[in-house]
Structure 1
């Protein structure tokens, strides 16, 4: 039986500082294939190559990955500053309408880090350019040195709504996660429900209220060690189940 397809939103990069590529972390593909049980398909997130309409037909679900460039502040009505960092307007042009289309259709997606922030912006929310500069906030950025294992180490707790979807999925009201981001949610968008926060109050787990499909998104990186981590594993499995349900419904509709 053919597995359903998850489109993994890629990022632009340069090899040897001069050769342009679209790239995606292997850990994303591993989590989608080995834990969610779906076919990982890397998407060049650029409207000059693909359209939202094409992606909606080709893929059964989407993983909105992390990435160094940030959502451009003009997408939420603000002027860019040095604190906002680098941008990828081509990715913005694909992911923001893609999120809105998936919410409307009930097509499943999961946002991670930048993808989490894209979901908020797509629904009309805003972002803080630099979390660590806010009073009482910790530094959520990746440690500047050390091994990959040290960079993705579990660093803070996330407190969950005890009656919410994430707590039910994880079987806990508090989980331990990694943290590798500079920006974060300022004002939540319309229908964005914040169900998890770090110890300093930073939003960490959201979903879109009344969306007919899977929209769970997190600020941390669950793709790291997804097969073994007790928080990552149920999240990706639930996402995979939602993608399979969508693919089955799509197949039934085509058969009519």
Structure 2
């Protein structure tokens, strides 16, 4: 590989209807900006539907994957539960791509970074379960995005995340307590196999996880670090480390983060 060539990060796209009629797969510009400007990689938006791409093709095409947030939730049948109105909208095509993709990346040591839904996908892919509505649990706060306001208000830092001392995230951020935004309704109920929870909000909601004894970079956060990634003191080192892992993979030397 030409060492001057940027590694390729596959950004998981979300299905939606443009102008309520035209079907598209898309991703927020802030995801591409974080990948290009902070990770130093080439962003490539993926149509997350097995009708268009296969997991095998993605693994060979991309050096790493950004598992983005999105309005649809992982279907509860993926973790052994019945669908209810509380579980919200779904995207079964994305489920069919991301869940086996995550497991394959864990097995291969190929890097990925999970964000919000991507955080939840990692837990489900490893056998865990989700609670459909965190704010309904006694003692929990409302983690959902504020319904009104400008983007900078909706993505504003809103709560503290406490990190495990000496863990991967502590070493990455240089702190055991960080401020993050919060824009999610669901959250981890039961952690999946080998899922290590290293960050929690003040109300006990899991916020930062990785896979125990993974061969490569398997980090995921429940918040949205892609917002203001170049300037935020938490987002920047996260995306920089992700970029380093993608470059290492592209050069044939998977980067393992030891807890």
In the TM superposition, what whole-angstrom CA distance separates every residue of 1:109-137 from its partner, at most 9, and x where no partner exists?
00000000000000000000000000000
Match of 1:169 among 167, 172, 178: 172
Q: Which ranges of 4 or more aligned residues in structure 1 deviate by more than 6 Å?
A: none
Note the 1:1-256 alignment, pairs <5 A. 1-249=4-252
Partners of 1:15 and 1:161 in 2: how far apart? 42
**SS class of match (2:190):** coil
| Counterpart position of 1:253 | none
What is the CA distance between 1:163 and its match in structure 2?
1.5
RMSD over aligned Cα, in angstroms?
A: 0.9
What is the CA distance between 1:218 and its match in structure 2?
0.1
**SS class of match (1:21):** strand
Partners of 1:161 and 1:129 in 2: how far apart? 26
Partners of 2:45 and 2:143 in 1: how far apart? 27
What is the CA distance between 1:2 and its match in structure 2?
1.1
Relative to the length of structure 2, the TM-score reads 0.96
- Segments of structure 2 that go 5 or more residues without pairing to the other structure are 254-259
- Segments of structure 1 that go 5 or more residues without pairing to the other structure are 251-256
Partners of 1:139 and 1:209 in 2: how far apart? 29
Relative to the length of structure 1, the TM-score reads 0.97
**SS class of match (2:251):** helix
In the TM superposition, what whole-angstrom CA distance separates every residue of 1:155-209 from its partner, at most 9, and x where no partner exists?
0000000111000100000000000000000000000000000000000000000
Partners of 1:222 and 1:39 in 2: how far apart? 18
| Counterpart position of 1:254 | none
